[in-house]
Amino acid sequence: MNHPVNTEIYVVFIHIVSGQKCWRVTYTHQSICALKGSTVDISCSYTYPSYHEIKKAFWYIKWSGMDPEDLSSVPGNEGHIEYLGDKKSDCTLRITDLRLSDSAGYRFRFITPGGKFSGSPVSLTVTDIVLEMDPTSVSERENVTLTCRTKCTLDPITVYSWYKNGQPIPNSNTSSPVYILFSVSSEDTGRYSCAVEGHEDLPSYVLSPVNTSVSIISPSGEIVEGSSVTLTCSSDANPPVDKYTWYFQNKTFPNGFGQIYNISNFKSKDNGHYHCEAWNGRGSRNSTALIIILPGEVPSSIFQYKITFQAIINSYTLAYHTLFYNYIYTLR
């Protein structure tokens, strides 16, 4: 069986003529870390003996059959991957709107009538920014540490910008990916995010669900025996929440797996505390407890964690569903 002859040239010269250029590909950076959604230029130059003529120059990350696959000819790369170089000495590659799937080893290759040459690979890692909070559950007067994490190391002179409810936090720009809130209070409540300076349009996101809470959609007024009560579970997560689990008195509801849960005929037996759990494949988070009591009823079950009524008032944020009727307690 005949095998094809490989004519690949890998810079093997026994005799070098003085002043003659060698076969070489040079990269400005051998390893690159870049943000998802940004644009990166892989700067590159190449040399070869002057008596050769470049027939083709291209970048590839994998082989297809006998030859490497030209990235510019791969379907879906139009406008995404662009060769900025020429057929003389510049071999720069530009990738716009970076995707996580663009992470790979990129190699430049050029072909002459006398042979073919490929450079060593450049490692490109594409990362998004994930915002982490420690601790994940916060009480008043605790310190909270927010950290912007990436899966590779960005440029060492990277500056991070911090935001609260979409607005820049004054004097928060720092070369550190960590932002600390000292002795938090209700004034610190909000939605926080971070971004790399110069890429403010590419903010951080949260992996596992946070800010999970239960609220009442209906009725808007007093809950009386026989009322239809609809609860909803809300949570911030990226990727989005794909599963909800509902709990009553810390036990799961039968068929309680959607964002909305309905109690069609509310009775005394339904008095108690409700909470939900949000999942998104990266993690889960429980909401605080919501206690609903019919008018004139104070079931003993809500006292299982505290001895006196006064203790419960001190341990819960008390809100009124109606002015004098249903008490709804939300756990801090």
Burial 1-37 (b: 16+ CB within 10 A, else e): eeeeeeeebeeeeeeeeeeeeebebebeeeebbbbbe
Fold of 128-196: Immunoglobulin-like (2.60.40)
Give the DSSP per-residue string, 112-143.
ETTEEEEPPPEEEEEE--EEEEESSS--TT--
This model's pTM is above 0.85: no
Angle, vertex CA 37, rays to CA 236 and CA 283, nearest 5: 30
Using one digit for the tens of pLDDT, what is the confidence trace for 113-158? Answer: 888 899 999 999 999 888 888 887 667 788 989 898 888 988 767 8
- Multiple choice CATH, 24-126, 3.40.50.2020, 1.20.58.220, 2.60.40.10, 3.80.30.20: 2.60.40.10
**DSSP conformation class of 206:** -
| Calpha distance 72→56 (Å, rounded) | 12
User: Which pLDDT does position 137 carry in this prediction?
Assistant: 67
Give the DSSP per-residue string, 218-251.
E-SS---TT--EEEEEEEE-SSPP-EEEEEETTE
The mean pLDDT value for 211-233 works out to 88
**DSSP conformation class of 72:** G
Using one digit for the tens of pLDDT, what is the confidence trace for 172-194? Answer: 878 888 999 899 887 887 778 88
Total count of residues recorded for the chain: 332
Residue 288: both structure tokens together: 């605080």
As a whole number, the mean pLDDT across the chain is 79
Say if CB 35 and CB 124 are below 8 A apart: no
User: Which pLDDT does position 307 carry in this prediction?
Assistant: 27
**DSSP conformation class of 65:** T
Which residue ranges does the chain devote to CATH 2.60.40.10? 24-126, 128-196, 210-331
Distance of CA 183 to the CA centre of its chain: 27
Give the DSSP per-residue string, 257-288.
-SSEEEESS--GGG-EEEEEEEE-SS-EEEPP
The CATH class given to the 210-331 domain equals mainly beta
Among 246, 252, 239, residue whose Cα is nearest residue 282 = 239
Bridge-based pairing state of the strands 167-168 and 130-134: unpaired
| Calpha distance 189→165 (Å, rounded) | 9
Residue 305: both structure tokens together: 């964690």
User: Which pLDDT does position 298 carry in this prediction?
Assistant: 62
